[in-house]
Structure 1
Amino acid sequence: MQDISGKRVAILATNGFERSELEVPLKKLREAGAEVDVVSLASGKIKGWDLKDWGREIPVDKTLDEARSDDYDAIVLPGGVINPDLLRVERKALD
């Protein structure tokens, strides 16, 4: 991956994100030098989905109330069924 030092990336996720679709980009972006925040609906931790069951928890860096879109160069929306379905009805996520 290209060096992206100094770039800021938000990973927008909530409970039910597909584990690999959050963890792999998070790791690769940080390795490439990006400053990455996991942004979610509430503070604390969010729990991923891993194939057929709940997976690991990931700490939330900022809530949607704390994060501003102007502070980021890019946004990543991890896939899966649950994560985008919950976020698509959340007004703060759409803004």
Structure 2
Amino acid sequence: MLAFDVTAFLDIIERERIQSLIGVPTVFALAVAHPRLNEVDISSVQSVGFGGAAATPEIIGGIRRARLLHRGGGGDRHSGGCAGGGRGGCARPGHG
């Protein structure tokens, strides 16, 4: 079994200018906790989608604090979503 490489994940986002990400919340929790997060340019990311597990308020908050989501060039405007997060697992737009 191959292990998830958070450093490679962040490097690919930067190098390929990834605009949309979809994954399990754990991937994003690891990314926002990574010590190199502030060293890589992830400003291209415009949307993040979650699935497969609940995205807790802590994970969503970490994504927002890390400014993993950017829209239109304004670093203070965020968008994101999740699928199948269950009760309390996903922030609704305008309620985050």
What's the TM-score, normalizing by structure 1? 0.31
Which gives a bigger RCO, structure 1 or 2 (Cα 8 Å, sep 6+)?
1
Give the number of the structure whose residues are more often helix, by fraction: 2
Structure having the higher strand fraction is 1
TM-score (norm 2): 0.31
